[in-house]
Amino acid sequence: MQKRDIKNFTLNELQEEVKDIGAEKYRAVQLFDFLYKKGMEDFKDMLSLPSSFRDLLQKYFYISKIGLENLVKSKDQTEKYLFKLEDGNLIESVLIFSIKRVTECISSQIGCKYNCLFCESGKKGFTRDLTVSEILNQVLFVKKRIGSILNNIVFMGIGEPLDNYGNVAKAICILNSKDAFNIGARRITISTCGVIPAIKRLQERGWQIELSVSLHAPENKLRSYLMPVNNIYPLPDLIETCKNYAEKTKRQITFEYILIKGVNDSLNYADKLAKLIGGFNSKVNLITFNPAPDSVLQAPGISQVKSFKSKLAARGIPTTIRISKGDDISAACGQLKNLYLK
Ligand code: SF4
């Protein structure tokens, strides 16, 4: 019988698993403690468990690991991790230090199906979804390195998290569990390109997690050019879904808007954006495009970014400008992997 990766199970599932091999359900809570609070990587080291139970665990399960292939550090302290999975695939995580929080940006897939024009991850196509354990191992690795100051998780790395809804949802359960990582739901953000059915599923769960939606254009035609996913889930339907989400969950939605010089950064688009999202609980996060070395797209100047922000603010839209971190280490998603594979 093939051993299974024990970090693929939520607490409820693990309780059933340990029951199935003849142990008491409460052993699952102990296992969570060993795996996620203590970061143990071998059943043999879990000495407070009966040796007969450890033997059973050894027989039916294994504890997966993630390998560090490369780590680069930016002048601004941002750290970029290139991880090697057990099947040899590479994924990235980015660790960002700010005054209020320490955030790890994690990947949810190997590659991505959606091929957004401005994104390095989309250019290599899609390989597969990450498993629950591969998602969690990114966090475990960094937590071991820097300890409990890691207090914020964003699903904003490689892949579209809502395209891997099942595994991402389970990973969130474990990240949020007080018996595991104990990271508050409001400190976990899902960033999506707008997979409408999965946003609706998230809404039904009633979680307090943050939802961040990549908009990048206030009209259908331009958005379809920048983000082909818009042909499947068009802008009007997406905005309607976001509006419902904000109303039902009472959470503020963040709309991400990457400003690309001469493409979507005119003040006319700021007006259209304000009109599109005004009237429900949302805000805009403006991001200056961070070009990869071979990108034909360019970043606008800071004065244009500020004018865009002022225009939105004048129309009553709460707006922030995200400070780009780690420019000197190719910290935009997919860039390090692409450099490494060249
Ligand atoms: S921006 Fe997100 S959805 Fe678009 S290609 Fe990149 S990873 Fe995929």
Q: What is the pLDDT of residues 161-189, one digit of tens each?
A: 999 999 999 999 999 999 999 999 999 99
Cα of 213 from ligand 1 centre, angstroms: 11
Counting beta carbons within 10 angstroms of the beta carbon of residue 100, is it exposed (0 to 12), middle (13 to 18) or buried (19 or more)?
exposed
Structural domain boundaries in the chain:
4-62, 67-341
If we measure between CA atoms, which residue out of 107, 185, 183 comes closest to residue 150?
183
Tell me: pLDDT of 305 over 60: yes
E strand intervals along 36-122: 61-62, 67-73, 79-84, 90-97, 102-105, 109-111
Does an H or E element contain 259, and which? strand 253-259
State pTM to two decimals: 0.92
CATH class for the domain made up of 67-341: alpha beta
Q: In this structure, how many other beta carbons lie within 10 angstroms of the beta carbon of residue 242?
A: 23
The tokens of 245 are what? 């989400």
Give the CA distances from residue 13 to residues 28, 37, 130, 227, 239, in Å, rounded to whole numbers and listed in that order. 9, 18, 19, 37, 35
Check residue 177 and give its pLDDT: 97
Position 121 scores a pLDDT of 73
What's the confidence (pLDDT) of residue 327? 63
CA of 241 to the centre of ligand 1 (A): 20
Fold that domain 4-62 belongs to in CATH: DNA polymerase; domain 1 (1.10.150)
- Catalytic (active site) residue 333: yes
3-class secondary-structure state, position 258? strand
pLDDT single digits (tens) 234-281: 999 999 999 999 999 999 999 999 999 999 999 999 999 999 999 899
Q: Is the CB of 193 inside a 6 Å radius of any atom of ligand 1? A: yes
Q: Helix, strand, coil shares of the chain as percentages rounded to 5?
A: 45, 20, 35
The yes-or-no verdict on residue 342 having pLDDT over 90 is: no
pLDDT per residue as tens digits for the range 200-219: 999 999 888 999 999 999 99
φ, ψ of residue 287 in degrees (nearest 5): -125, 125
Q: Measured from the CA of 160, which atom of ligand 1 is nearest?
A: 3
Distance (Å, rounded) from C-alpha 165 to C-alpha 212?
15
SS3 at position 225: helix
- Pocket flag, ligand 1, residue 111 (CB < 6 Å): no
pLDDT digits (tens, 9 = 90+) for 312-337: 999 999 999 987 666 665 555 544 44
92 among known catalytic residues: yes
In short, whether 115's Cβ falls inside 6 Å of ligand 1 is yes
Phi-psi region of 72 (alpha: psi -120 to 50; beta: other; left: phi over 0): beta
The tokens describing 50, both together, are 């009966």
